[in-house]
Structure 1
């Protein structure tokens, strides 16, 4: 679907027909529909769960086949099928909230997925199966890593997961130390020696992990590869793109990306007002992450506001001028948002915690899974107890060069947080007695919004308004 914004020819924009894909026709040939969308496996899943209502979540590019798939599943299972199109946040996340709106008992997610754990509904993933020339892939790996004694960890995009078994059997004959990751869709505690990242698990040699390992990724550029690069920035990274047949060494821009992340940490240290953006309602433990961030920001002497607005864009966040920096709580693939076009920078929960928690030190690695920062997580560092006499500290900003003051505070209990601070105290003249950062910012604006004038506006009889569109009302004479 195409659209036009701010066109000088407004009449053409209003009356121009929009082209939409023929959903009934579909793009996938009928003969491949069963295989690509795994119809039989989906039928078994629905029957096993006994769901009477099932939600099918499609990304935009796959909606063209959604109607045919829904009809096949309804005919085979007798369940009522609902199609979820535009998701509340990223299409890689399971939209359990939208599924619950229709009372769905289970959900089937199609296309690329971030594999973030969810708990509300039984979920089945259908990634699709893109073709891979396994022989060419092995040849590219041998060219990139000629030393057969090098221990290698192999990752892949989810759409190429179906070839990992064949790839492992071939590589094991060439690289004795090869380890192939497997999809891990459970949220239980990893076994001893097992490493889990981004919905994938593998068991490397603990005596060599991670410095001696090289990484090989099957797939194109994208959030998954970026997360892997920034998680282990000191290890050699190589990739093979099945669509182009190209194999290459990755990491040329990793150092630049890491410097940018460190710059954002310093911006977070300078900030006084933080906006916590709710970027997911489906990832497990997101509420715990929001509460944890509020506590850490408060103990660092900063103010915070929680904002939930669905998919983000610069225009939405530009409405909150009083906020110095935003922190986004989202799935691992959507956490590191490029905020170069936004009015204020956006950081990850890990970067905000490094900026606020004096016990945390930046190691040069990026943690994009916020569940690792919570108590019990692999990267959790408790906020230290601050001596009241040492609560006020000063240091120098690495960005502005100015002296900045930091005032640490004690952790508030839930009772203290909900009493005495929920409402602003007012005096007899209805003036705010204690201004928060947002109210202070509002009082300094030249325009502070419309005056309500309660009780002063006279009551008038309702009359019929104008008819037509803004450029050509019915009662206006044509030019």
Structure 2
């Protein structure tokens, strides 16, 4: 509460929205009152609004709901994806959960990890970041005492707890980089904002990368670190935190070809290898991507209005689909659900433009598959190939798809097959006719109702006419009807 209030007072914000996940709503009222009282003690009046139901997902900043009350900022509580914002500044308050530092350090220093001579990235789940420096120092002390200290251990952090709205990149399709929102943020020698004054982690325990590697600030799932690029050599990843954390799933899906170790803080057991579920999910994503290649009608599902670059991503998808000969519909409906998307049976595949940690990766309950921006760009590009090492969940900078022009008869048959249609012989004439191969194709090609303005076969289009006033009253007796009937 004090850090939140100081943030509001320093920036002279008078209307703030407090965004809580579902499991913290029971504390929302007390926090809102405490923030207002603390600001009042500093001679600054603040009106706090509670965002109890997020528009899309609880990990991203709900700029849509905040705009309804014309808020100056959003204070986000709980886990956060830390994606770049487009309109409203935000302040983040992470949950805290204490680790048994001795137990974790003992597991890390006594395992085969202590003898690795390759770079190691050790990620802590957001609730444990407040013990990052303490844990790093304890692991280094134990390894040094055992004579097995590796010089390449790096501990990524989330150093920035406040974000400002970012402008889009020149292409409009990529995510802009985050920056510190506080005017007093400390900067390094290169001028990049690296740490805000509200950050609780003032120590830097990142190890120095090898001299022959590509060194720079790297970012993933909201974390930042300085070290080796993924393509510069083998890197071992360690995750300390909940096994179902959204950030862990993002990291493992986008780095599935690298060695992984996970440590569950509830059992303090260290496990080696990528979970079987991640491999299975990647295979399913590949199958859905191949299925999207054959779709003729695509629904671009806008799953965010706050992540910077979403408009450019939507435009890029529509252009790529058009170049591939597909028809697109753009839909905006808040949180997607099977019931909502079932209202569009003509659409054969949906592309969700959303926060990287808010993607719907398990879409078994939906009538049509839901794929990501990256998967769609691969599906719409005829010469693209699936590569797990290049898999991503953000908007990225995927190039536009190029559609090849085919004019011969063989290509025409292939085009019809890609649209989900099959050729069947007609018994009377021996010719071939197109038969729908799915319910969506039937609705598109065989549905007789085309709307009230659709002319009959051979008729000219209807001439628009001015609207006239209709009947008024109730169904039991409209005005102008005889009353004795």
SS at match of 2:292: helix
Offset at residue 138 of structure 1 (A): 1.8
| 1:87-106 alignment, distance < 5 Å | 87-106=54-73
Please say if 1:230 is aligned against 2:253: yes
Q: 1:388 to 1:463 in 2, by over 3 A?
A: closer
The match for 2:286 is 262
Alpha carbons of 1:382 and 1:308: their partners in 2 closer, same or farther (altered >3 Å)?
Answer: closer
Match of 1:28 in 2: none
Equivalent residue in structure 2 for 1:214, among 225, 236, 255 = 236
Aligned residues: 385
Mapped contact 1:230–1:365 kept (Cα < 8 A): no
Structure 1 residue 337 corresponds to structure 2 residue 361: yes
Aligned match of 2:37: 75
- 1:178 Cα deviation from its structure 2 partner: 0.5
Give how far 1:56 is off. 0.3
Q: Give 1:266-345 correspondences, 5 Å limit.
A: 266-345=290-369
The within-5 A match list for 1:47-446 is: 47-77=9-39, 78-142=45-109, 143=111, 145-173=113-141, 174=143, 175-183=150-158, 185=160, 187-188=176-177, 193-206=216-229, 209=231, 211-222=233-244, 223-253=246-276, 254-365=278-389, 367-373=391-397, 380-384=398-402, 404=418, 441=443, 444-445=446-447
Moved more, 191-200 or 333-342: 191-200
Which is further off, 160-169 or 316-325? 160-169
Q: CA RMSD in A?
A: 3.5
Report the alpha carbon displacement of residue 72 of structure 1 after superposing the two structures with TM: 1.0
The whole-number CA distance in structure 2 between the counterparts of 1:383 and 1:460 is 55
Whether 1:462 aligns to 2:462 is no
Q: Distance in 2 between matches of 1:461 and 1:244?
A: 70
Deviation at 1:220, TM superposition (A): 1.2
Q: Report how far residue 198 of structure 1 moved.
A: 1.5
Residue 230 of structure 1 and its aligned partner are, at CA, apart by 1.2
Matches of 2:315 and 2:219 in 1, distance apart? 24
Shift of 1:216: 0.4
* CA offset digits 1:359-385 (Å, max 9, x no partner): 533211464443322xxxxxx334458
For structure 2, the residue ranges without an aligned partner over 5 or more in a row are 40-44, 144-149, 164-175, 180-191, 193-214, 421-438, 454-464, 478-485
Consecutive unaligned residues in structure 1, runs of 5 or more: 1-38, 374-379, 407-436, 466-479
Aligned mates of 1:366, 1:332 — CA distance in 2: 15
Deviation, structure 1 residue 167: 2.2
Higher RCO, 1 vs 2 (CA within 8 Å, ≥6 residues apart): 2
